[in-house]
Amino acid sequence: AGHEAVLSCPYASKLSLLMVTWKMKCSACCLLAYRSDRNETRKLNCSERMMWKYSPDSDPALRIYPVSLGDEGNYSCEIVSSAGNFLLFSSLTVIVPPAVTLTCDKSGVVVCQASAGKPAADISWIPASNHSTEEEVHHPNGTVTRVSYIGWVNSTLPTVTCLVTHPAINQTLSLDL
């Protein structure tokens, strides 16, 4: 999320391109089309974030920038050329890095929180502990907040470290107790 996605639709440029159409797979979603004989492009139900990456007659790649969670889904690109019709399917998966915090409350419970990530982040502790508990909150937009708690009242170790693993980030936070 927030970065650029480019979905390619390869075709051999030696073929005479007549038309190229991108569709997102849902009833009222984006349609982006180019017709070469009229040098005409058309956008229907597309946000300003969806556009041609290059000139559609030379490379009909679809550019989405910045990507949002709602862009996730299946896309199709149809090329009509002198050699026939060609259909290519692409699937876009959006990942969102979580916001990570590490705190300690008055009762000596250390809290590591990975907020609003997609998919959910994994949380582990250094030193490793079998006494941590976890909670998960699933948000309506598809993101997940994961919280891990560990008691640190009777520990002789001065520092605890929370390790958050996620496809978008790996983050380590340490807390001196």
What domains sit in the chain, N to C, each tagged with a CATH number?
Answer: 5-92 (2.60.40.10), 99-176 (2.60.40.10)
Residues 76-121 have pLDDT tens digits of 999 998 888 889 999 999 999 999 999 998 888 899 999 999 999 9
High-pLDDT (> 90) share of the chain, %: 55
Residues 152-176 have pLDDT tens digits of 776 777 888 999 999 999 889 888 8
Answer for the pair 26, 73: CB distance below 8 angstroms, yes or no.
yes
pLDDT at residue 15 in the model: 67
Give mean pLDDT, residues 143-157.
86
Strand order across the beta sheet in which 170-176 lies: 122-126, 159-165, 170-176
DSSP code for 65? S
Sign, CA dihedral 160-164-165-170, equals: negative
Please tell me the distance from the alpha carbon of residue 149 to that of residue 112, in angstroms, as a whole number: 7
Q: Is the pLDDT of residue 129 over 80?
A: no
Sign, CA dihedral 137-141-142-147, equals: negative
Strand order across the beta sheet in which 50-52 lies: 5-7, 62-64, 50-52
Residues 23-69 have pLDDT tens digits of 887 767 889 999 988 989 999 988 899 999 988 888 899 999 999 99
Record the tokens describing residue 29, joined without a space: 């979603």
